[in-house]
Structure 1
Amino acid sequence: MKLYNFFRSGTSHRLRIALNLKGVSAEYIAVDLRTEEHLKEAFKSLNPQGLVPALVHDDQVLIQSPAIIEWLEERYPTPALLPQDADQRARVRALAAVVGCDIHPLNNRRVLEYVRHQFKADEAAINAWCATWICAGFDALEALLKADTQRGRFCFGDSPTLADVYLVPQVESARRFKVDLTQWPLIAAVEAACMQLEAFQKAAPMQQPDAA
């Protein structure tokens, strides 16, 4: 199994966490977004979108982190990243989707590059843009966590789920864009609980071989 990814990519980060939680090893292959390696033919022959991550298993190329993580959940069901109950699974998926659908896409590198080049945004403007969507999403997540009085240490219950897999990379991204995380004590507590686990520690951006 080969994992094509970039150390600072949030989607790559979430997939590394999921692989670690499942105990599935993959050869780390760095795709350097800073030099636009993802847009070169060698990588686009694997993923025509030119986006990381991509996971190669046997002769199959898997793309899009939500699809890959669902594939992992189905192929390696233990430990589970989703609860057994359908209503609870819907809640966990919704928490993950706040990050995966509503925060991360607006902070994606290709969006930020467009804002930089087409609208001449400087780094202060980029940080303000990112903070707008991070704060809106995190305000909602904090409220959802607070409303769940049976929650436990993680986003749902007392073991990590899909929601935590998505949340932790977004917290890391928020720090990079200089967002004040003290606004969301429950999110901070969840991240602290996650970061006590080796699966999250080993997946952190600065622990990757291409980190610089």
Structure 2
Amino acid sequence: MLLYDYFRSSAAYRVRIALNLKGLSYERRDILLLEDQQRSPEHIARNPQGFVPALEVEGRILTQSLAIIDWLDARHPEPRLIPSDMDARADTLARALLIGADIHPLNNLRVMRWLKDEAGLGEDRRSEWTRHWIAEGFDALEAVTGKGPFLGGAAPDLADVFLVPQMFNARRFGVTLDAYPKLVAADAAASALPAFAAAHPDKVAPA
């Protein structure tokens, strides 16, 4: 497996966690977003959106972190990240999509660049934008999180795979986390696991 990756990409971070949880060996190839390598003809040929991650596996290229993790769950089902029980599956997907569809897209690199270059917002206003949308999403996620220790209960699942990278971003942008004790606890429980720790951006950052 070859993962086209960027160390601080939340979506790529999710896939690293999933691969590690499943004990799968993979190579990484850095796509340096700040240098616009994602817009190169070579990468556009892999992923017409020009995003990371992209996973080259079994003769094909997979894109979109949720689709990649779903494929991995089907191909390598242990440990299962998306429950097979339909009610648990719906709950897990809802928590993961709250992050992946409603929080993360509003504070990724291309949005930040548009806010700077097209809307003319300075750094302080862009950071305020980011904190606002993270906090709004975290308010809802805290409300639908159970007793723990993980978002879904006794074991980490897809939602935790999505949470940990978003918590990393929240701290980068100075989001106050006091209102989210369940999320902080779930993040700490997951981050203590070797599979999550090995995927941390500090562990894979380009030298």
1:25 and 2:25 are equivalent in the alignment: yes
Q: Aligned match of 1:163 in 135, 147, 159?
A: 159
Alignment of 1:58-207 (within 5 A): 58-145=58-145, 148=146, 151-207=147-203
For 1:180 and 1:6, locate their aligned partners in 2 and report how far apart those are by CA, in whole Å.
Answer: 26
Output the aligned Cα RMSD.
1.1
For 2:64 and 2:88, locate their aligned partners in 1 and report how far apart those are by CA, in whole Å.
Answer: 24
1:41 and 2:37 are equivalent in the alignment: no
Stretches (4+) displaced over 6 A:
none
The alpha-carbon deviation at position 83 of structure 1 amounts to 2.5
Identical residues among aligned pairs (%)? 45
Unaligned runs of 5+ in 1: none
1:56 and 2:52 are equivalent in the alignment: no
- How many correspondences in the alignment? 207
For 2:167 and 2:139, locate their aligned partners in 1 and report how far apart those are by CA, in whole Å.
Answer: 13
The aligned amino acid for 2:76 is Y
**Equivalent residue of 2:178, what SS?**
helix
The aligned amino acid for 2:203 is Q
TM-score normalised by L of structure 2: 0.97
For 2:102 and 2:43, locate their aligned partners in 1 and report how far apart those are by CA, in whole Å.
Answer: 27
User: Which is worse superposed, 129-138 or 77-86?
Assistant: 77-86
Q: Show CA shifts across 1:139-163 (max 9, x none).
A: 0011111xx3xx4310012110000
The aligned amino acid for 2:143 is A
For 2:205 and 2:110, locate their aligned partners in 1 and report how far apart those are by CA, in whole Å.
Answer: 23
**Equivalent residue of 1:12, what SS?**
helix
For 2:171 and 2:39, locate their aligned partners in 1 and report how far apart those are by CA, in whole Å.
Answer: 27
TM-score normalised by L of structure 1: 0.95
